[in-house]
Chains A and B, each alone.
Chain A
């Protein structure tokens, strides 16, 4: 009998119409950059040029901020219920256009359609729905301001213009995390998407027009790091929200220091995924795979350090390797693909360099046999065993499908190793013992601690880091505070 090989099941590209070039979205209109500069955006799975996008300069950023400032006067004066209407409308349009947006996201980012369709887009819509619901309840949302409990004061007020810079790993989802709470609370925004993944933000601009959002409330300026730096430094903005690398986050913190600007930073991570010997092993294996190979490991809260109890190390690693061998790497638009392309040549080079460092420092490298496509940027799911806290691959964020396996013997040792990192964004605990979960969760210095699961997101749940993983929280009621003067 022949083997059961899945025939290709590609999602159609015809549902998305990408223009050959895009301008900046300022004050409700698309416009070329002042100095006419453009850059190309590629599909990382094929290196095909998808479109040309304007590179916003100093004047463009200034125009966008001014447009947002002007729009703020009327937008912030609207009753919350009116702002909610726009947000609900945007959420519904996102749902209606979700297939188109999912395909676009997979094309521009390289992530598998299975994830953009089943994870990204539902969460994008959910964030707009969630914050739409809060828009007319802000007085009840924030601590100590409830008119119902006798401690009422002035209603919380929006900050003004928010300058937002987002990364390339979840282009549309990070946009939703930033824009939905900002608009719900009455702020206006200037958003800069990542250089390698600008398209979904530009499609979102179109959705804003479709929803009839007043001009200038949302402005999208595309460009590279210099555009982001201009935006952050612009004196006309009141709040900076950034998700990205710790290095850039530190630069932003220095820029903003001493100004009136509020700032939230969501930076890197090197999460520990801790597996005890009494864990539900099959589900732990799934959690480990989902923790590090979801979105090619391009996840700041990825469970990139597996801490496994020595007594089950062999059993768990055998199961993990067996499971990794079933991962399907390839065309992001194929509905059966589990792992897509690395987002850019630069990122691929960084992953390679760190993986090589792991080998050079004596860790043992393993990857399942898998054929990688000849064009585009690819990296096979990879496992390093024999890793110690002293290895670079145990300390530095790789931001790719590379898992470092360390071991521990006691819960105290697990906590000590898990916390022994400059980062503190997330952690995972796998055990059937509830008391241990609670004990560990209290000890771990991480913004999110998942138990018997990993990489689960919900708009109602706050997300953010300790230490070099940044400050401030996004999501949930906590996420509203970052955009309110309370």
Chain B
């Protein structure tokens, strides 16, 4: 099995290697994760709420809307998905607003593994990535060989990004090393077998609604980053509580601290339930004031969303025409 070759740089790789001790055994990993500073829920929520009161107007709003569009992982994850539905979504991702060609394209189209080839073909030449959910998404309840096969299958079909779910059962029962190993092996399975030596980007989904506490979310973030996640992602969008501003803030802070500690930059993706421009802008403000400019690009921040795009487009039309148009002025795909 070829090892993955992250473009961390020598110094970062060394600093990361210096953290190898903490993953040497279950006990060491638990001590490390439980030794991270705690999260005070009240204070965290207050901070997230305060960031939500930033007033983003005029030029800043126009900038934020276009940035948000370019960060969308336009998603369809339904059992009823058909090639036609996926192709329609791809067309929308390439050209979100048929009435205004200046609207930016989205970052990626996110589909189930069996739709990767269809999406890949539909997106040819667009520069838009294909993201595939894998590892028995959304429950993660399958054996490791099945999860790895699921991943390799999506990568072989051409997926540029893999969105994996962690084994929440293992995490909640304290088997952190199992979770770590699983992420590490999925990361290896992301390496393309075409001999190019490249790998699909790995996004690790925590399903924060099931982890319940902010301390757990912070530990899961570090665990995933130690195991080599390129992105950390809040949720599948398939449970009652998905991305929230406080949970996303915990991810952002973990990414910031990890970067400060080892020099490795990791991306963040809140997913599920982000439907309005106003909400999206609040997330961008959080990124801006927690991580700064470096993360304000589709390379390092994504929205996992299906209906957010239309609201962004309507707001965009409002800014350019001065009038609200309405849902019939954006496409339903």
A279 → B minimal CB distance (Å): 7
B284 to chain A: which residues have CB within 8 Å? Answer: 4
Within 8 A of A (CB), among B52-67: 53-61, 63-64, 67
Which stretch of A62-70, A280-288, A362-370 is in the interface?
Answer: A280-288
B51 → A minimal CB distance (Å): 10
B38 to chain A: which residues have CB within 8 Å? Answer: 278-280, 432
Q: CB < 8 Å: which of B40, B67, B296 contacts A452?
A: B40
For residue B88, CB closer than 8 A to chain A, the reply is no
Measured CB to CB, the nearest residue on chain A to B56 is A6
For residue A5, CB closer than 8 A to chain B, the reply is yes
Contact pattern, A 107-150, Cβ under 8 Å of B = 1, otherwise 0: 00000001000100000000000000000000000000000000
Q: How many residues from B make CB contacts under 8 Å with A?
A: 29
Asked whether A9 lies within 8 Å of B57 as measured between CB atoms, the reply is yes
A81 to chain B: which residues have CB within 8 Å? Answer: none
Q: CB < 8 Å: which of B39, B46, B54 contacts A6?
A: B54
Within 8 A of A (CB), among B15-73: 37-40, 42-44, 46-47, 53-61, 63-64, 67
Asked whether B43 lies within 8 Å of A453 as measured between CB atoms, the reply is yes
Measured CB to CB, the nearest residue on chain A to B44 is A283
Contact pattern, A 285-301, Cβ under 8 Å of B = 1, otherwise 0: 01100000000000000
Asked whether A7 lies within 8 Å of B58 as measured between CB atoms, the reply is yes
Asked whether B40 lies within 8 Å of A283 as measured between CB atoms, the reply is yes
Q: How far is the CA of A453 from the CA of B44 in the complex (A)?
A: 11
Q: How far is the CA of A452 from the CA of B253 in the complex (A)?
A: 18
The listed residue with most A CB atoms (<10 A of its CB), out of B58, B63, B253, B260, is: B63
A283 to chain B: which residues have CB within 8 Å? Answer: 39-40, 42-44, 47
Asked whether A281 lies within 8 Å of B37 as measured between CB atoms, the reply is yes
B53 to chain A: which residues have CB within 8 Å? Answer: 114, 118, 335
For residue B289, CB closer than 8 A to chain A, the reply is yes
The listed residue with most A CB atoms (<10 A of its CB), out of B43, B44, B54, B289, is: B43
B248 → A minimal CB distance (Å): 13
Residue pairs across A and B with CB atoms within 8 Å: the count is 71
Q: CB < 8 Å: which of B56, B59, B289, B296 contacts A326?
A: B289
B47 to chain A: which residues have CB within 8 Å? Answer: 282-283, 286
A475 → B minimal CB distance (Å): 21
| A9-B253 contact, Cβ under 8 Å, with A4-B284, A4-B288 | no
Asked whether B288 lies within 8 Å of A282 as measured between CB atoms, the reply is no
Within 8 A of B (CB), among A1-16: 1-9
| A335-B60 contact, Cβ under 8 Å, with A282-B37, A282-B39 | no
| A7-B61 contact, Cβ under 8 Å, with A283-B47, A286-B46, A336-B55 | yes
Q: CB < 8 Å: which of A4, A114, A326, A432 contacts B67?
A: A4
Q: How far is the CA of A4 from the CA of B65 in the complex (A)?
A: 11
B54 → A minimal CB distance (Å): 6
Q: How far is the CA of A280 from the CA of B253 in the complex (A)?
A: 12
Asked whether B61 lies within 8 Å of A1 as measured between CB atoms, the reply is no
A76 → B minimal CB distance (Å): 41
For residue B297, CB closer than 8 A to chain A, the reply is yes
Measured CB to CB, the nearest residue on chain A to B35 is A278
Q: How far is the CA of A7 from the CA of B63 in the complex (A)?
A: 10
For residue B78, CB closer than 8 A to chain A, the reply is no
B256 → A minimal CB distance (Å): 9
Asked whether B54 lies within 8 Å of A336 as measured between CB atoms, the reply is yes
Measured CB to CB, the nearest residue on chain B to A114 is B53
For residue B194, CB closer than 8 A to chain A, the reply is no
Q: How many residues from A make CB contacts under 8 Å with B?
A: 26
B296 to chain A: which residues have CB within 8 Å? Answer: 1, 3-4
| A286-B60 contact, Cβ under 8 Å, with A4-B284, A335-B55 | no
A114 to chain B: which residues have CB within 8 Å? Answer: 53
Asked whether B63 lies within 8 Å of A2 as measured between CB atoms, the reply is yes
Asked whether A280 lies within 8 Å of B40 as measured between CB atoms, the reply is yes
Measured CB to CB, the nearest residue on chain A to B253 is A282
Q: How far is the CA of A335 from the CA of B56 in the complex (A)?
A: 9
B39 to chain A: which residues have CB within 8 Å? Answer: 280, 282-283
Q: How far is the CA of A318 from the CA of B293 in the complex (A)?
A: 19
Asked whether B60 lies within 8 Å of A5 as measured between CB atoms, the reply is yes
A6 to chain B: which residues have CB within 8 Å? Answer: 54-56, 60
Asked whether A7 lies within 8 Å of B42 as measured between CB atoms, the reply is no
A101 → B minimal CB distance (Å): 18
Asked whether B46 lies within 8 Å of A1 as measured between CB atoms, the reply is no
B293 to chain A: which residues have CB within 8 Å? Answer: 3-4
A55 → B minimal CB distance (Å): 38
Measured CB to CB, the nearest residue on chain A to B43 is A283
B58 to chain A: which residues have CB within 8 Å? Answer: 7
A318 to chain B: which residues have CB within 8 Å? Answer: 260
B63 to chain A: which residues have CB within 8 Å? Answer: 2, 4
B46 to chain A: which residues have CB within 8 Å? Answer: 286
Asked whether B37 lies within 8 Å of A280 as measured between CB atoms, the reply is yes
The listed residue with most B CB atoms (<10 A of its CB), out of A6, A9, A282, is: A282
B55 to chain A: which residues have CB within 8 Å? Answer: 6, 9, 335-336
Asked whether A286 lies within 8 Å of B289 as measured between CB atoms, the reply is no
Asked whether A7 lies within 8 Å of B43 as measured between CB atoms, the reply is no
Q: CB < 8 Å: which of B43, B56, B260, B288 contacts A286?
A: B43
A280 to chain B: which residues have CB within 8 Å? Answer: 37-40, 43
Within 8 A of B (CB), among A282-332: 282-283, 286-287, 318, 326
Measured CB to CB, the nearest residue on chain A to B36 is A281
A336 to chain B: which residues have CB within 8 Å? Answer: 54-55
B168 → A minimal CB distance (Å): 24
A4 → B minimal CB distance (Å): 5
A286 to chain B: which residues have CB within 8 Å? Answer: 43, 46-47
Asked whether A4 lies within 8 Å of B64 as measured between CB atoms, the reply is yes
Q: How far is the CA of A287 from the CA of B55 in the complex (A)?
A: 22
B42 to chain A: which residues have CB within 8 Å? Answer: 283, 452-453
A3 to chain B: which residues have CB within 8 Å? Answer: 293, 296
Measured CB to CB, the nearest residue on chain A to B61 is A7
Q: How far is the CA of A335 from the CA of B55 in the complex (A)?
A: 6
A278 to chain B: which residues have CB within 8 Å? Answer: 37-38
Within 8 A of B (CB), among A394-453: 432, 452-453
Q: How far is the CA of A1 from the CA of B288 in the complex (A)?
A: 14
18 interchain pairs (CB within 8 A)?
A: A3-B293, A4-B284, A6-B55, A7-B57, A9-B55, A114-B53, A118-B53, A278-B38, A279-B37, A282-B39, A282-B47, A283-B42, A283-B43, A283-B44, A318-B260, A335-B54, A336-B55, A432-B38
Query: Which 10 pairs from chain A and chain B are nearest by CB?
Result: A283-B43, A9-B55, A335-B55, A280-B40, A283-B40, A7-B60, A281-B37, A432-B38, A280-B38, A7-B58
